[in-house]
Structure 1
Amino acid sequence: MRFFRRLCLRLFLLFLLLALLSVVLVALLRVFDPPVWAWQLGRELSPPVAYPAKVQHRWVGIDRISPRMQLAVIASEDQRYPLHRGLDLEAIQDALDEREKRGRVRGASTITQQTAKNLFLWPDKSLFRKGLEAWFAIWLELLLDKQRILELYLNIVEFGPGIYGVEAASQRYFGKAAAALHDWEAARLAAVLPNPYRFSVARPSPYILQRGRWIRRQMRQLGQGYLKQLD
């Protein structure tokens, strides 16, 4: 019994230490741009077939990313982004209802959750991984503001094999800075984010062209003023 109590105590202390470390890592993002992140490391340690020998990435601040691009990813990925605190409970409930009615699983991850996954975690659909994703998402929302989380997301998300961040993607596909993106360009970039290995910005399929048009309609409905809610 004494050994068992000691083991439980040590496990509990280890859990507290890891929890504290995770909070510290999130807090550091208030002032530091991450030089590397878990998703990128995973790609490089176990590269997909199409992964290039040299990745492309350039960090830019949120003020150097076109508001159209900011609105495009919100319209495409998480239209309630300004309103929730990391977890969109309404979207989660809708996804559960759809699975119950149609037997189909629909994603309900927020931009904050996707940022947490890309920064700290590994590609997996287990409940344990999703639980960690929720943990980090909550702390991201508690310690960072919405604009900073969106800045992180747009700088680390992969838009194509080895093309990380909107600046590298904009330069690669459109030959311009992310600050100069137009509506259709921003929508095209946002359209491939569910799977940048299956879908291509440079060679868009009919589905991507259709999805890009849908994203532009959503952008018009939300309006550019929607971004003011992130302040």
Structure 2
Amino acid sequence: MVTEAGMERDGPINGYRKRSAGGARWFRRIAGLLLFVLLAPYLLILLYRIELIRPVSTPMLADLVMLRGYDRQWVEFEDISPHLVRSVMMSEDGQFCAHDGIDWAQMKLVVDDALAGETTRGASTIPMQTAKNLFLWSGRSFVRKALELPLAMASDFVWSKERMMEIYLNIAEWGPGIYGIEAAARHHFNVSASELGPKQSALLAVALPNPLERVASKPGNGMRRLANVVERRARQSGAYVTCLYGDGGR
């Protein structure tokens, strides 16, 4: 026999309350998961400060998931040719030693161009590219850029400039499945990262923005011209690389 109390317990009001409680639990779980996803990169930034840890990038993880595999041989910063470091800096981020992860002057120019309806130029610094490669995804997106900026600033604050450059050069892509400067140097020029000369270094630096189409070991005329400019800038980069090779480093 069904009592009035039983009807009240199982009635529409209590059923609504149960559904509401279940919906609230799912909302809390989803919110907690999103919060964890947003905070996890910052915890990893702290973890990656430890030099014994060798991070992998999201493209490398994607290659593993797709069962393609990849070639990456970690190399310490001290074992990377200074020619390569200087070439990459002068090609990708000339103010690397001076900014806090973001080149605000270049960023302002990009914003001004966008507001004026003009074609925007690239303003990604090495910390921004490192944050994107480690924690985010490729492609143009305001959401990705909004996530990328604080991650770049946090990593630049936590890591030394030397550690930042070491991680960047060990996760950068230089061809299909070719990650890091050691694998790139051996793949393209059959030498170790420490043996790279000025011309080889400039070609590798020029290939970085589009490594799937720009092949360092098979450069066209346009790529050679860009490499000559980078090589010249690298020779004159003494004042720009003090955080890595001078007394001004952290």
- Classify the TM-score, shorter chain: 0.7 to 0.9
The unaligned stretches of length 5 or more in structure 1 are 48-52
CA distance in 1, matches of 2:174, 2:204: 7
Cα separation, partners in 2 of 1:28 and 1:175, compared to 1, 3 Å: same
CA distance in 2, matches of 1:90, 1:116: 20
TM-fit CA distance, 1:229? 2.2
Q: Which residue pairs with 1:40 in the alignment? A: 60
Q: Using structure 1 for the length normalisation, give the TM-score.
A: 0.86
Q: Using structure 2 for the length normalisation, give the TM-score.
A: 0.80
TM-fit CA distance, 1:20? 3.8
Q: Which residue pairs with 1:171 in the alignment? A: 186
Question: Percent identity, aligned pairs only?
Answer: 35
Q: Which residue pairs with 2:41 in the alignment? A: 22
2:236 aligned with 1:216: no
Q: Deviations over 1:161-190 (max 9, x none)?
A: 111111111111222111111111110000
The residue identity in structure 2 corresponding to 1:227 is: V
Q: Which residue pairs with 2:93 in the alignment? A: 78
Kept in 2: contact 1:112–1:149 (CA 8 A)? yes
2:107 aligned with 1:69: no
Cα separation, partners in 2 of 1:163 and 1:10, compared to 1, 3 Å: closer
Q: For CA contacts below 8 A with separation 6 or more, give which structure has more relative contact order.
A: 1
Cα separation, partners in 2 of 1:207 and 1:26, compared to 1, 3 Å: same
Aligned mate of 2:241, from 205, 214, 227 = 227
Aligned mate of 1:203, from 206, 211, 218 = 218
Q: Which residue pairs with 2:173 in the alignment? A: 158
Cα separation, partners in 2 of 1:102 and 1:130, compared to 1, 3 Å: closer
Q: Which has the larger radius of gyration?
A: 2
CA distance in 2, matches of 1:64, 1:191: 21
The unaligned stretches of length 5 or more in structure 2 are 1-19
The residue identity in structure 1 corresponding to 2:242 is: K
Structure 1 window deviating more from structure 2 (33-42 vs 197-206): it is 33-42
Q: What does residue range 24-173 of structure 1 map to in structure 2 within 5 Å? A: 24-31=43-50, 32-34=52-54, 36-45=56-65, 53-100=68-115, 103-173=118-188
Q: Which residue pairs with 2:203 in the alignment? A: 188
Structure 1 window deviating more from structure 2 (140-149 vs 7-16): it is 7-16
For these two proteins, the number of residue pairs brought into alignment is 225
Q: What SS is found at the alignment partner of 2:174?
A: strand
Q: Deviations over 1:126-148 (max 9, x none)?
A: 11111111121121012111110
Q: CA RMSD in A?
A: 2.5
TM-fit CA distance, 1:45? 4.2
Structure 1 window deviating more from structure 2 (191-200 vs 11-20): it is 11-20
Cα separation, partners in 2 of 1:131 and 1:59, compared to 1, 3 Å: same
Q: Deviations over 1:202-230 (max 9, x none)?
A: 2111111011011012212323x532224
